[in-house]
A and B are shown apart, each in its own frame.
Chain A
Amino acid sequence: MLQVRIREITIKSPGHNKLLLNNASLDLIENKVFTILGKNGSGKSTFAKSITGLLDKRHYSVWGTVHFRGKDIFALNPVELLQLRRDSIKYVFQDSVNSFNQLKKLDYYFELLSKDKSEIDELLSYFLLPDSKKLYKMHPYEVSGGMAQRISFVLALLSKPEIIILDEPTSGIDSAIANLFLLKLKEFASQNRNSVLLITQDISFAEKASDKIAYLSKNRLSTFYEVKDFFRKKDDPLLVDFLEANKHIEE
């Protein structure tokens, strides 16, 4: 079933009159992981942020529509938007450590989301993090970047959203931990009516995690292909350079 219907998103930066994204569309379907690959600075994160109206209106103009289960996200008032981001569509950002208020101890974030200590501890131990007793006393600046990334993912899972949007989850973490992300992400996507939007440069991760992959290049989002087809789509002009480079590194 269709969860999020994203239609013809165009993003411009009015200050520089620069086109950042041209006509991107995506249908997030339940129990699937959708992945966007693309070069540095191609606008992957900007696109992801635009979905729940996270882009600052002073710096970005956004056209298009996003419907979450039939509800027009761009028509929501600020309070409803906050609710949506709290309960339904969760982000795990690349620089997770900056998503926290550095002056609040971590217990603040956990206690907002769940009272079930055993559930929390189970997830913490899954991600090889210290238990709640220890972690709650820490400030965000006391944990490493890789830990912040994991904590951010745990918090997203605890809030039981329908959609998780992960932006570069594997950058700056060890490959063993990245494997944990992969396993948990697959598990999340298989439950209820959940789905995942993944933004990454880690091709092996994308290959293992995704159901469908698209490539963002020259301000345009390609079609979402089945994983096995994606790596063979040499006839798609948006994918040519990428596939060629990837072939050289893979072989």
Chain B
Amino acid sequence: MNKLVEILNLNYSVQSNSILNTGKENIILKNISLEIGANEIIGITGESGSGKTTLIKLIAGVLKPSSGEIKFVPLKEWKNIKTNPVQILFQNNNEILNPFRKIEDIVEEAIRLRNKDKININIEMEKIFSSVGFTDELRKRKGFELSGGEQQRAALSRILAAKPELLILDEPFSAQDVESQLNLLNLFKKINEEFNLTMICVAHNLKILRKLAGRIIIMYNGEIVESGSTEEIFNSPKNDYTKFLLKCENYNLKYEDLKFKTDLTE
């Protein structure tokens, strides 16, 4: 397997801002090591505050690690290209799309950053819009004229225009109905193949992660507590927390099972 990302002993902590305990270190991520192969779809899950979002921000280079390293080995040369090989699909797409510009203009501009050839631009645009299922009519609309799901696909077209090698999906399925979830799931799988795109998907929804990812990482309290093939994780989970999480997802929890949560009362 061709490695795209290699993370070694990654730590991330912040200084506490509170007046009472200045200088106290707040550890967000502890000793994370992880490899991501080219073309893989990997799922990251865990509850709020487990460090998932911090981890993807570090991978995307938005944050700098306190210690440890993240090696990103792109397949092609990115030196003279103005776009970034790592892209993130956020949740708040309505805030991201410029309300004054048509979607096709936004996408065209992004392609032009790395490709000046007019004919090729049109071919690329066609490929992108047809894979996200954007009709001629939708392409001419502005961000605010689209529904939530359409905005998400518009943001995805803009991302594909940058031809990234790694796409990070931050809770793409949250607050969506089943039919939209299924459409999105199929869309991500298609893009993964058509654009040779490696993907990291952060999601709460284990049911759908199971359908999307080949490998799953379970995080708890800033650490990776278990990782393995999707089949292993779901059929024979080893870690107690993973078992707990699976129980939660299926709504089979009893009140006594909540020992993992007691630290939250503080």
Query: Which A residues lie at the B interface, using CB under 8 A?
Result: 38-41, 125, 128-130, 144, 146, 171-172, 174-180, 182-183, 201, 203-205, 207-209, 241-242, 245-246, 248-250
What residues of B have a CB within 8 angstroms of the CB of A175 in the complex?
47, 204, 245, 248-249, 251
Query: 1/0 per residue B55-98: CB within 8 Å of A?
Result: 00000000000000000000000000000000000000000000
A243 — nearest CB in chain B belongs to which residue?
Answer: B178
**A146, B47: Cα distance in complex, Å:** 12
- B265 to A, closest residue via Cβ: A128
- Chain B 157-196 interface residues, beta-carbon cutoff 8 Å to A: 174-182, 185
Nearest chain B CB to A113's CB is how many angstroms away?
22
A183 contacts which chain B residues (CB < 8 A)? 253, 255
Give complex CA distance A71, B97 in Å: 49
Provide the residues of chain A in CB contact with B211, threshold 8 Å. Answer: 248-249
Which residues of chain B come closer than 8 Å to A209, judged between CB atoms? 251
Set of chain B residues within 8 Å of A146, measured between Cβ atoms: 48
Categorize the interface residue count of chain B. Answer: 20 to 34
Shortest distance from the beta carbon of B55 to any chain A beta carbon, whole Å: 17
Across the interface, which residues of A come within 8 angstroms of B264, CB to CB?
128
User: Once the chains are docked, how many angstroms separate the CA of A41 from the CA of B174?
Assistant: 15
Known: A41-B147, A175-B204. A245 touches B182 (CB 8 A): yes
Take A128-B261, A204-B207, A249-B208 as given contacts and tell me if A179 and B251 are in contact as well, using a CB distance cutoff of 8 Å.
yes
**Minimal Cβ-Cβ distance residue in A for B249:** A175
User: CA separation between A174 and B121, bound complex, in Å?
Assistant: 43
Q: A201 — which chain B residues lie within 8 A by C-beta?
A: 175-178
Residue of B177, B178, B245, B255 contacting most chain A CB atoms (<10 Å): B178
In Å, the complex CA distance between A175 and B185 comes to: 21
Task: List chain B residues, Cβ under 8 A from A40.
Answer: 148-149, 175-177, 180
> What A residues does B204 contact at CB under 8 A?
174-175
B258 within 8 A of A: yes
Q: A174-B204, A176-B47 are in contact. Are A242 and B178 (CB under 8 A)?
A: yes
Contacts of A242 in B (CB 8 A): 178-179
| A–B pairs, 19, beta carbons within 8 Å | A39-B179, A40-B177, A125-B265, A128-B258, A129-B265, A171-B174, A175-B204, A176-B248, A176-B258, A177-B261, A179-B253, A180-B255, A204-B249, A208-B251, A245-B181, A246-B178, A248-B182, A249-B182, A250-B207
- Bound together, the chains give a CA A128 to CA B258 distance in angstroms of 10
- Against A, the Cβ 8 Å flags (1 = close, 0 = not) of B246-265 are 00111101010010111011
Select which of A39, A174, A204 is within 8 A of B251 by beta carbon: A204
| Alpha-carbon distance A214/B38, docked complex (angstroms) | 44
Closest CB pairs A-B (n = 5): A179-B253, A175-B248, A174-B47, A208-B251, A39-B177
CA distance A240 to B28 in the complex (A): 45
Q: State the CA gap A35–B217 with chains docked (Å).
A: 33
Most A CB contacts (10 A, CB to CB) among B149, B175, B177 go to B177
Question: Which residues on A sit within 8 Å (CB–CB) of B245?
Answer: 175
- Residues of B within 8 Å of A179, CB to CB, are 248, 251, 253
